[in-house]
Structure 1
Amino acid sequence: MLIWGFKTIFRTLSGGVFHCPRCGGDRQYHLKQARRWFTLFFIPIFPYKQQGTHVECATCGGTFHDTVLQGATSAQISAQLAQGMRALAVAVLRVTGMPSTAARTAAAGAVAEAGVTGYTVAQLDADLAGAPVDLPPILVPLGDQLQPQGREWLLSRAALIAAADGGIGSAERALLDQVGGLLQMTPAHVIGVVETAQRNVPRG
C-alpha cells in the first residue's frame, strides 16, 4: 500500500532580540520559514511549496507576522528616551538664555534619570557648548513609540527645567508647546502637564 501526502516543515532563517507582544518585553526570537514537502511513507521526499515566514518567541512560543521585527525593543526605546531627554534639556536651557545653577542642576538630574548614568552638570555644560540639535528627528519617533505616561514624563521634565529659574517665559512655553506637538500630545494635554510641573518645582 502506497502512502503519500504533504507535511509542513519549518526552517530557522535567523534570530535575535525583539519586543514580544505577548510577553510584553524584550525576548529572543527565531525567524522561521514554512515549506510544504511531499512525503512518501511519512518521509519528506522533495519540497513542494514555500508558505512564507513568521517570528516565533523563544520564551512563550507565540508566533507573529514578521513585521513585528520593525518595532523597537525596550532597550532601543530606553536609549532613544535618554537621547531625547538629553537633547531636550539642552534645548530648554538654550531658550532660557542664561540658565541658573538651579536650572542646570534640574537638567542634569533629568538626563541622569532618563538613563544617562553619571551625567553631570559639567557634561551638560559641554553639551550646551556643542552644536544645536534638531528636535523633530529625535522626538517624533518617541511620540510614536512611547505610551502616554512616557510622553508626559518627558514633557514634564522639560517643564521642570524651564520653571527652575522661578517661572516659564514665553519662549520656553513656545518650546514646550512644540515638544508636546512632536510627542503627539493635544494642546489641552500639554497645558495640564506643564501646569502640574510648575506646581511641583522645588522651592527654597
Structure 2
Amino acid sequence: MPALVLYASFLGSRCVVETVSQGTFFCPDCGQAPYHLQRVRRVLTVAGVRVASLEAIGQHVECQRCRGTFRVEVLNISEEQVEAAFEAEYYRAIRRTMVLMCLADGLIARSEVNTIAAVYQSLTGATLTREDILHEIALAQEEGAEVEQYLEGIAPQLNDASKEMVIRAAYMVATSDGEFQADEQALLDRVGRALLLDQTELTNLVMKMLREQAR
C-alpha cells in the first residue's frame, strides 16, 4: 500500500466537548443549579489520537444537576422568562425526530400519532396531545428539513445523555411494529451520524436497547 494511502487511512476527526466557563443559573427543568458552558469542537485525529483542534461547531449550557442542555441565551434572561420560553433541548429534539421519521414516507397515520405520544411520555414523563403532535407535524412540514438536516443543526446543543434520549426515541418509533427492518436500521444510522456519534457508539447503544427489550 502506498505510504500516502496508508497515512490517510489513519486520519480521522471526532468531536470533543470543552468547558468554557461555569456558574449558577435558573434551570428550566430543576430550578437554581450550577451550569457549565460547553463548546463542541471538531478535532483531527491520527490513529485515534488527537493531534490538532479544528473549528468550533457550537456551544450549549449543561445543567450540572439534571444534565439537561439548553441554548446559551438561557443565561441572559430572568427566571420568569426562562419558565415561559425554555424547555430542555432534548424534549424538542425528541418530538421533532419522531415526527420527521414518521414523515419519511410522506404522511403520518393515526397509529403513528398514538406511537409518538406513547414514546414521548415513556421517555420524558410529559404528555403530548393529538393537537400538540399535529402542530409539530405542521411546523416540520413548513420548515421542510429532513431528520438528518434537523439533527445536524441542533447536535452541538445536545450532550451525550440527550443524544441517547433522541436515539431511544428514534429506535422506539422504528420498532413500534415489532420489527427492525433494514431500511429502519439505515435511518437510525443516519440519525446517529447527524448527532455526531461514531458507529461504535451507536452500535453499543442499539445493543443496549436490544438487551433491555429482551428482558
**TM-score, normalised to structure 2's length?**
0.50
How many correspondences in the alignment? 144
Aligned to 2:22: 22
1:154 aligns with 2:163: no
Bigger Cα displacement from structure 2, 144-153 vs 160-169? 144-153
- Two-structure CA RMSD over aligned residues (Å): 3.9
Residue 174 of structure 1: CA displacement?
1.3
Give the counterpart of 1:138 among 144, 150, 169.
150
Give the counterpart of 1:107 among 100, 103, 116.
116
For 1:161 and 1:90, how far apart are their aligned partners in 2?
9
Structure 2 gap ranges (5+):
1-18, 28-32, 35-57, 62-68, 73-86
Paired residues of 2:89 and 2:158 also in contact (CA < 8 A): no
Aligned residue identity for 2:152: V
**TM-score, normalised to structure 1's length?**
0.53
> 1:109-153 deviations in whole A, cap 9, x for unaligned?
344567795412454356457624433443124322322222112
Residue 166 of structure 1: CA displacement?
0.2
Evaluate the alpha carbon distance shift between residue 165 and residue 128 of structure 1 in structure 2; reply closer, same or farther with a 3 A threshold. Answer: farther
For 1:197 and 1:100, how far apart are their aligned partners in 2?
26
Paired residues of 2:120 and 2:127 also in contact (CA < 8 A): no
Residue 156 of structure 1: CA displacement?
1.4
Evaluate the alpha carbon distance shift between residue 94 and residue 177 of structure 1 in structure 2; reply closer, same or farther with a 3 A threshold. Answer: same
Aligned to 1:176: 188
Q: Secondary structure at the match of 2:197?
A: coil
Paired residues of 1:85 and 1:111 also in contact (CA < 8 A): yes
Structure 1 gap ranges (5+):
1-18, 28-58, 61-69
For 1:135 and 1:91, how far apart are their aligned partners in 2?
5
**Max Rg structure:** 1
Aligned to 1:10: none
Aligned to 1:33: none
- Bigger share in helix: 2
Residue 104 of structure 1: CA displacement?
3.9
